[in-house]
Amino acid sequence: MNSPLPMTGVDWTALRNFAALHGQLRISLTPKCNEKCWFCHNEGDVPPPSTHLHRDARPREREMNADDILNVVAVLMDAGLKRVYFTGREPLLSPLARPVLTRLPEHGADATYTLITNGTLIRTHQDWLATTALDKVKVSLHYFSDESLKAIANTRIGIATILDGIEAARETFERVEINTLVQRENEHELHDILDFALTRRMPVQFIELVDTDFNAARKGSAVGAQAIINHLRTLTSDEETELSGVGQGRRIFRVDGIEIDVIHRELGRHHVGQCGTCPVKPQCVEGFWSLRVDHAGGIQPCLLRDDLRMDIRPLLTTPHRIPATVAQHVSAFTEGTL
């Protein structure tokens, strides 16, 4: 793992720019979940409604073990990526969760490890989660009642389990944040979710729907963030707009010192370079803000471009070669020559 990166003949510029603009490394540990959120893009794997409707639309099988994932994380962090997110559908359902998260390599002060979870299994796994080097846990809370939970996530799990999971996370980690996708099904509960978070001094990120083909039928559920922005403006005058970096622009509010972020489509999106001549650029909502690694050994720069998923399985026995290969892929993507 300590062998020098092969520097010759590799154009590192695009990967370094992506890292410098705070691009994320997202590791999807599993395409399985105990919820079936109607909007879930499953980090690029088969989304839940499709698995349900089409029996042959199976998510990818796991091809990487915990050591492979830890190696990929280590070499890509060495290559400059600093914001690492463990996600999936539900990462805590994956047999990889414990062996990966309890053995995360040490990182410098400028890096972070974040777990993104629906919160249902935090209490169950609290003991070993407490031993991990995770810096932050981000819990999805798109609902605040059993009714909206059922309407959004089509599950029999009750809201009490999720709220207790958030309490378990707060007992275990210093930084716990809430992530809420604004939609018609939770419009009436957004103030409750915000109050719940503010009372506990937890930051919240409100996000808007990223529409992909599979959730097009429920496009009417995408209500946009203007109403919650208007409400936040009644609570604070401390508002900034962040347009730099990668991904979508956001409005940052501070209420009693707690940061409330709103990803707002109106602010536009930010591409690394120009994303070259990407044919789906007109439909692209997010820009290129994350390198997505999946449990089947793929790395993909962008949710809308399955065709750009690179197979890194042949490199798993020589992980030091992964960064150069990824750098070349990202360069080709941003130059539009892929």
Instruction: Closer to ligand SAM by CB, 75 or 129: give it.
Output: 129
Contact call for residue 39 and ligand SAM (CB under 6 A): yes
**98 contacts: CB under 8 Å, gap ≥ 6:** 125, 128
Least Å from the CB of residue 258 to ligand SAM: 19
Q: Which of 81, 207, 316, 324 binds ligand SAM (CB under 6 A)?
A: 207
**277 contacts: CB under 8 Å, gap ≥ 6:** 336
Q: Which of 88, 298, 319, 323 binds ligand SAM (CB under 6 A)?
A: 88
Residue reference for tokens 């890194």: 312
Q: Which of 30, 114, 161, 179 binds ligand SAM (CB under 6 A)?
A: 179
Contact call for residue 118 and ligand SAM (CB under 6 A): yes
- Which residue stretch of 9-17, 84-92, 188-196, 321-329 sits at the interface with ligand SAM (rule: CB under 6 A)? 84-92
Least Å from the CB of residue 237 to ligand SAM: 27
Name residues contacting ligand SAM, limited to 216-275 (CB under 6 A): none
Name residues contacting ligand SAM, limited to 124-163 (CB under 6 A): 140
Q: Provide the β-strand partners of residue 270.
A: 247
111 backbone φψ class: left, alpha, beta (φ>0; ψ -120 to 50):
beta
Among residues 213, 214, 270, which one has the least CA distance to residue 241?
Answer: 270
Pairing assessment for the beta strands 204-207 and 239-242 based on DSSP bridges: unpaired
Least Å from the CB of residue 303 to ligand SAM: 8
Paired tokens of 201? 């001094």
Query: Edge to edge, what strands does the sheet with 112-117 contain?
Result: 239-242, 250-255, 258-263, 204-207, 176-181, 136-140, 112-117, 83-87, 24-28, 290-294, 298-300, 310-311
H-run or E-run covering 87: strand 83-87
Cα 62 to Cα 64: distance, rounded to the nearest angstrom: 6
Contact call for residue 173 and ligand SAM (CB under 6 A): no
Least Å from the CB of residue 215 to ligand SAM: 6
Name residues contacting ligand SAM, limited to 268-327 (CB under 6 A): none
Least Å from the CB of residue 276 to ligand SAM: 24
Q: Provide the β-strand partners of residue 163.
A: none
Q: Which of 70, 194, 209, 246 binds ligand SAM (CB under 6 A)?
A: 209
Rg of the Cα atoms in the chain: 19
Least Å from the CB of residue 149 to ligand SAM: 12
Q: Which of 19, 40, 66, 312 binds ligand SAM (CB under 6 A)?
A: 40
Instruction: Closer to ligand SAM by CB, 169 or 322: give it.
Output: 169
Cα 153 to Cα 115: distance, rounded to the nearest angstrom: 20
Q: Is the dihedral of CA 89, 92, 96, 99 positive or negative?
A: positive
- Which residue stretch of 15-23, 116-124, 156-164, 293-301 sits at the interface with ligand SAM (rule: CB under 6 A)? 116-124
Least Å from the CB of residue 7 to ligand SAM: 35
Site string for ligand SAM, 7-36 (x = CB under 6 A): --------------------------x---
Contact call for residue 178 and ligand SAM (CB under 6 A): no
Helix axes 226-235, 190-199, angle to 10 degrees: 40
3-class secondary structure, 81: coil
Contact call for residue 87 and ligand SAM (CB under 6 A): yes
Interface ranges with ligand SAM (CB under 6 A): 33, 39-41, 43, 87-90, 116-118, 140, 179, 181, 207, 209-210, 215
